[in-house]
Amino acid sequence: MKVLFITLDGLGDRPVPEFDGRTPLEVAHTPHMDSLAAAGINGLLTAVAPGIPAGTPTAHALLFGYHLNELPGRAMFHSVARGIVPPPEDVICLARFANVQPTPQGVRLLHRVLHGPEEDFASLAEAIRKRSVDGVEMELAYTGHGEGVLFLRGTVSDEITDCDPIGMDLPVIKAEPMERASDPEAASGTAEALNQYLRWAHTVLREHPVNARREREGHPSANFLLAKWTARRTPMQPFQERFGFKAVSITSEEVLRGVMHELGVETRIEEKEATEEDMVMRLSMARGFLAGEYDFVHVHTKQPDLIAHYAEPKRKMAEIEALDRGLGYLVKEILPDRELVVALSSDHSTPSVVAAQPAPGDIHDQHSGEPVPLMIVGRNALRDDVSTFSERVAARGGLGLVRGADFMHILMSQAERTNVIGWRPTARESLHRPTQVEPFEL
């Protein structure tokens, strides 16, 4: 049997006061999601563990059957998605131009996302492209939209803290070695070299003619480089080798394309502006892939997460309803296939109400640790008595609470792809039933 796995990014939420304590998913009109829930078995899904938030790349890698200790830092996924594949000896981090202000309490982040002509940012990046500090060579590769990949070469470690505070409630963070760094000396040297580079870059950027012009024109100066998510590339077992599925992911999310690159999963990028039409298009593509050589198709949409970060629950509810209308294609055109397992869930919860509500037009950066609803539909799924799709009702479903480490095993079992523990059909231990073995000869 084949598998169709759909993730509605950031779908889960918290109780919203203006919805009388219900979530956007609970108040949304979702007849197609409800019909899917009624046709299968339901539960709650947490990529890591209850209460622990995860970002999109980490959550998806865990749901695809990998473990935290196998994953590189997030910068690696962005880098390879942008066509930059670092050698294993280099450490990289993601770098973004920002606007900061020195204060007695530290360097205050005023603007994380800056806008302007690409040639301006490219000129700024060239001015701080290379620097050597105590034997650590640093080189900035500008990749567009005010961001770049910063290479650190020499005796370096990826086990250092981020400098980007992510939220606006903390000052810019000094790079420090992690307490449990495997090579404390290398980690300490890397952190200090990065700090010196960032101080030097601030001086250069502050005096750059591009920033002088930006200030004259009333735009924030791009006077700092935020660095985060240090990473070193390590080989990861291909998804097909681990689980036996030939897979493709339909996603327009950059960091997720990077995850799939490292897992050896093909990606396809297509998108439409209207949410309903976009979902129909993705599902139509999925149907075509399933009819061909692929036996695991992943469909991903970022829309619920994008809207939730603006802290507008009503917009998130409307977005969920548009996605549900698009899922009508799944119900009518794909679901009748009895040789298909369909799983629909999310990677994490993104709250549309937070303690420090952002100003209109601004965003918050939080994910939350609540589990997300999960449904699985297929001829092997034991139907439970759940008939609606939401966080609260899914908790009563027959799947119970599913962790990311168990998710792929459940899908494999539903698709009749599992290898019985203890049986050794191949020299390499495998979780999936092999399609080829070494034949015995007389």
* pLDDT on residue 187: 97
Average pLDDT, the chain: 94
Range ranked top by mean pLDDT from 110-119, 138-147, 304-313: 138-147
In this structure, what are the phi and psi dihedrals at residue 352, rounded to the nearest 5 degrees? -95, 0
* pLDDT on residue 385: 96
Q: What percent of the chain has pLDDT over 90?
A: 86
* pLDDT on residue 434: 82
Q: What is the dihedral of CA 225, 231, 233, 238, to 10 degrees?
A: -110
- Among 77-91, 115-129, 160-174, 235-249, where is mean pLDDT lowest? 160-174
* Strand pairing report for 372-377 and 41-46: antiparallel
* pLDDT on residue 335: 85
Encode pLDDT of 333-349 as tens digits: 898 877 899 999 999 99
pLDDT band at 27 (very low <50, low <70, confident <90, very high): very high
Interval 251-258 mean pLDDT:
96
* Strand pairing report for 2-8 and 296-301: parallel
Q: What percent of the chain has pLDDT over 70?
A: 99
* pLDDT on residue 377: 97
C-alpha span between 351 and 346 (Å, rounded): 13
In this structure, what are the phi and psi dihedrals at residue 138, rounded to the nearest 5 degrees? -120, 135
Interval 84-96 mean pLDDT:
96
Q: What is the DSSP string of 233-244?
A: ------HHHHH-
* pLDDT on residue 399: 97
Give the tokens for residue 159: 């086990």
* pLDDT on residue 208: 97
Inter-helix orientation angle 118-127/209-216, to 10°: 140
pLDDT band at 167 (very low <50, low <70, confident <90, very high): confident
* pLDDT on residue 435: 79
Angle (CA) 101-354-8 rounded to 5° is 110
**Residue 168 pLDDT > 80:** no
* Strand pairing report for 340-345 and 2-8: parallel
**Residue 271 pLDDT > 90:** no
Taking the model in full, what pTM does it have?
0.93
Interval 109-123 mean pLDDT:
94
Encode pLDDT of 57-86 as tens digits: 999 999 999 999 999 999 999 999 999 999
C-alpha span between 88 and 235 (Å, rounded): 9
* pLDDT on residue 41: 97
**Residue 104 pLDDT > 70:** yes
* pLDDT on residue 421: 82
**Residue 360 pLDDT > 70:** no
Interval 244-268 mean pLDDT:
96
Interval 41-64 mean pLDDT:
96
C-alpha span between 352 and 306 (Å, rounded): 10
Tell me which H or E stretch contains 267: strand 266-268
Could you give the C-alpha distances from 357 to 165, 168, 272, in angstroms and in order?
17, 12, 30
**Residue 422 pLDDT > 90:** no
* Strand pairing report for 224-231 and 247-250: unpaired
Encode pLDDT of 274-331 as tens digits: 999 999 999 999 999 999 999 999 999 999 999 999 899 999 999 999 999 999 999 9
**Residue 359 pLDDT > 80:** no
Encode pLDDT of 365-381 as tens digits: 889 999 999 999 999 99
**Residue 9 pLDDT > 70:** yes
Residues 119 and 225: beta-carbon distance below 8 Å: no
**Residue 382 pLDDT > 70:** yes
C-alpha span between 335 and 341 (Å, rounded): 9
By C-alpha distance, which of 20, 7, 116, 13 is closest to 56?
A: 7
* pLDDT on residue 391: 96
Q: What is the DSSP string of 343-372?
A: EEE-S-B--S--SSPPPTT------B---E
**Residue 420 pLDDT > 70:** yes
